Amino acid sequence: MDISRLRDRLIEIDYTTDSVLERIGDAGQAGLHRNCTLPADVTLAGAGDPLATLIRMFLLRQQMPSGVAERAFGGCFLDVVAQGIIAVDGGSARAVVELRPYASPDDGASGWLVSDLTPGLDGIVEPTRPDYVLGASPASLTLAEITMRGHVGRALDLGTGCGVQSYHLSRHADRVVATDLNPRALRLARLGAALSGMDVDFREGSLYEPVAGERFDLIVSNPPYVMSPPGGQRLTYRESTFTADGLVEAVVRDAPAHLTPGGSLQLLTNWAVTQEPWEERLASWVDGSGCDLFAIERERLDRFAYIEMWLTDAGLTGRPEWEPTYRGWLAYFDRLGIDEVGMGWILLTNSGRETPEIRCESWPHAVAQPVGDVFAAHARAVDAARLDTADLLVLAPRLTGVVAETTGQPGAADPEHLVLRQRTGLLRGMRLSTVTGAVLGALDGDLTVGQTMAAVAQLLEVPAEEVAAEAIPAVRRALAEQYLIAR
């Protein structure tokens, strides 16, 4: 198939994100987010032009008269049928896969994604095929938003699925390699990448096997992290043959051998929460690697909520298999001592530090996406926070992207608390005292830390050593958490 002809046809009829959203309207878009097609269908009001036809076939999953479909695809019609994108049965044509326009407002990544049809539309729940290829899910979009976007030479999309991460990596990497264990995923990802004009090196295989001996500046992955019990049917896109979170552990443990100096691995994933603190479990995965670890737990589910979520995802709601499968999962979790499941983000960096930085924290609060810049600046922030005291005192950092908030009783003369709040990224808050508030508030990139502390000591009439004892730890924290940026 000459893919350029289909791409030209999609462009000609303006089958793009903006045009689709304009045609189905806000109500139609909101309906599709709820897996309901009726609002979009009503908005289209019976239109049968080529753009409306593609929306109906691929997004609303409607069968169309074969003549209408042929007019929509023009000279590409027979090629699209031959490639298995649509199927013709008698006088009707239907979508076999989902061909969806894609555009990111953050970094300009755009094109068309090819994946399996969205499950659960209009309440129709069917069992999911084992080699199902997921489209751009909320998890994959979040991974794209947390990914560092600075220029890199080589990037690896580990477990590419429909290929959406490669669309973003192609914007800032000289070369992108994408791997997957699922041959069907690679076939659809190749088709989408070709349609979108991207040069991606797709390779079939498990984990790092297809890139043995190779190193990358950036590795990203939303791996199959669902912790289902052995036996029974598995969905390749979400489950592996590893025990519990063993696959995620393998991805982390084996990453250092595939990272260039300064290179990083970024994951959106799950991990088991047992009697051992989760922070210690994750830290043990990188012990002896020489790599920094920055893990953020964004959410935690008890085992019941976790199991119900994934049984629903597998299309088992209301089916006879629901209860026995549920009980099987519970018995599996009992054997492994899994009480809860953590969900979050992992950054592993081949920093070359003699003493790596290990930071694991829970942050279930709102963030301002995209937060890729936070991860990109993390290594430099740690460098600044770890400076010897003498070097720290001559540093001239500045506050950036923060506001001061005060809290207290209504009518009180003075606030009870002063908080430094970030307006971007993780939106952290840092409680300040009179001394730390004065020191941090005066750091504007001109005065050094030492000069600022001396001025505050004089202003408050407090001994300089007392100011230093309180302010230096606060400055280190503010540097590490990026309230302060060092020049």
pLDDT tops 90 at residue 346? yes
Residues 151, 51 within the same domain: no
Residues 302, 194 within the same domain: yes
Residues 402, 271 within the same domain: no
**Residue in the block written with tokens 């659809």:** 188
Does residue 370 sit within a domain? yes
pLDDT for the residue numbered 1: 54
The CATH number given to whatever domain includes residue 213 is 3.40.50.150
Of 324, 359, 385, which closes a domain? 385
Residues 371, 472 within the same domain: no
pLDDT band at 414; cut points 50, 70, 90: low
Backbone phi, psi, residue 163, to 5° = 95, 10
Does residue 235 sit within a domain? yes
pLDDT for the residue numbered 408: 60
pLDDT tops 90 at residue 293? yes
Of 369, 385, 401, which closes a domain? 385
Residues 262, 404 within the same domain: no
Does residue 439 sit within a domain? yes
Residues 288, 250 within the same domain: yes
Residues 77, 211 within the same domain: no
**Domain membership of residue 18 as a residue range:** 3-96
Residues 170, 305 within the same domain: yes
Does residue 73 sit within a domain? yes
Residues 141, 162 within the same domain: yes
pLDDT tens digits along 83-125: 899 999 989 999 999 999 999 988 889 999 999 998 878 887 7
CA distance 17 to 240: 33
Give the distance, in angstroms, between the CA of residue 29 and the centroid of all CA atoms in the same chain: 22
How many structural domains is the chain composed of? 3
Residues 208, 349 within the same domain: yes
Does residue 253 sit within a domain? yes
Please give the residue that has the higher pLDDT: either 76 or 2. 76
- Side chain identity at residue 282, one-letter code: L
pLDDT for the residue numbered 14: 96
CB 297 within 8 A of CB 362: yes
pLDDT for the residue numbered 106: 84
CA distances to 6, 21, 29, 145 from 18, in Å: 19, 5, 11, 20
pLDDT tens digits along 298-323: 999 999 999 999 998 887 888 899 99
The CATH number given to whatever domain includes residue 427 is 3.90.930
pLDDT tops 90 at residue 347? yes
Residues 393, 288 within the same domain: no
Does residue 130 sit within a domain? yes
pLDDT band at 412; cut points 50, 70, 90: low
Does residue 92 sit within a domain? yes
Of 331, 366, 385, which closes a domain? 385
Backbone phi, psi, residue 428, to 5° = -70, 160
CA distances to 54, 85, 115, 148 from 188, in Å: 18, 10, 6, 26
Does residue 173 sit within a domain? yes
**Residue in the block written with tokens 């709820």:** 34
Residues 379, 399 within the same domain: no
pLDDT tops 60 at residue 157? yes
Helix %, strand %, coil % of the chain (to 5): 40, 25, 35
